Amino acid sequence: MVITNQEQHQTLLIDIGNTNAKGVWFHKSAQQKFQPVQDLESAIDSAQCIYYCSVSTTHPLLKKLDTQRANQIITQPESKGVLCGYAEFQNLGVDRWVAVLGAHRKYQTNILVIDCGTATTIDYVTASGLHEGGWILPGITTMRESLLQNTDRIFDEVIQPEAEFGKNTPNALRNGCAMATVGAIHQAIQHIPDGSKIIFTGGDGALMQSLCQFESDLMMDLVFEGLSLFVQNDA
C-alpha cells in the first residue's frame, strides 16, 4: 500500500475551552481541511504535529500535550495582521484572540465576532486589523443555570428558546436568557460601522444566529481557522 504525503504528516489542531476540548485533523490542501477527531488522547499520540490553544490551566490533556512538545498558541500584542486592543494583551482569552485572527484573515473587512459558548464573547476588529476590544457575558446556558441555582421557585425543562414572551416558567426562563443575549448583540452592532461583517461561532452559535434578525455568517471552525494560520508550510 502506498502512503501519501498527506497521510504521512498528520497535523492536529486542538481547542481547549472552559467546558470541553475538541480537535480536528488539518489538511491544508484537502477539500475538507478540518476533519473532526473523536478520540483526542489517541490522536495526540499519533499526531506528527500539534497546535493548540487553551483557556484552561487544569485540563487533563495539558500534561499530555506538554510531553508531546505540542505548539501552544497564546495571545500576543500583534499577530497575523491583527493588533490586540487590550493594553495588557495577555488578559485577552486566547480563544477570542485566535477566533479574531481567523475571521480577519478570511474576511479582511470590519468584523464582529460573536462566540456563543459557556460565555458569550463579542469582539470587534477593523478591516485594518485593529482589535477594538469587546464584551463578555454569560452564555445562555450559564445564565439559565445561575438563575436555577440562586432562586427557589424557578424551574426548567428542555425546550428551544424562541423570540416570544413565555407563558410558563420554563419558556420565560429560556426565552429571557436568549433574548438578553440577542439584546446585547444588537447593542454591539450599534457601536460598529454599517456594513460590518457579523460572524457567529461556538456551541450556541447556530441558535443565536437564528434568533437574530440580520444577515450574518456561521463559522463553527473559526478557532481552527485561526490555529491553522500558525501551521508551518510542511503541514
Beta-sheet strands, E only, within 84-174: 111-116, 119-125, 131-138
Closest CA to 18 of 146, 226, 202, 225: 202
Q: Is 204 noted as a catalytic residue in this protein?
A: no
DSSP of 144-155? HHHHHHH-SS--
- Catalytic site residue from 15, 39, 66, 95: 95
Give counts: helices (H), strands (E), the chain. Answer: 8, 12
Report d(CA 11, CA 71) in Å as an integer: 11
Q: Which residues are catalytic?
A: 95
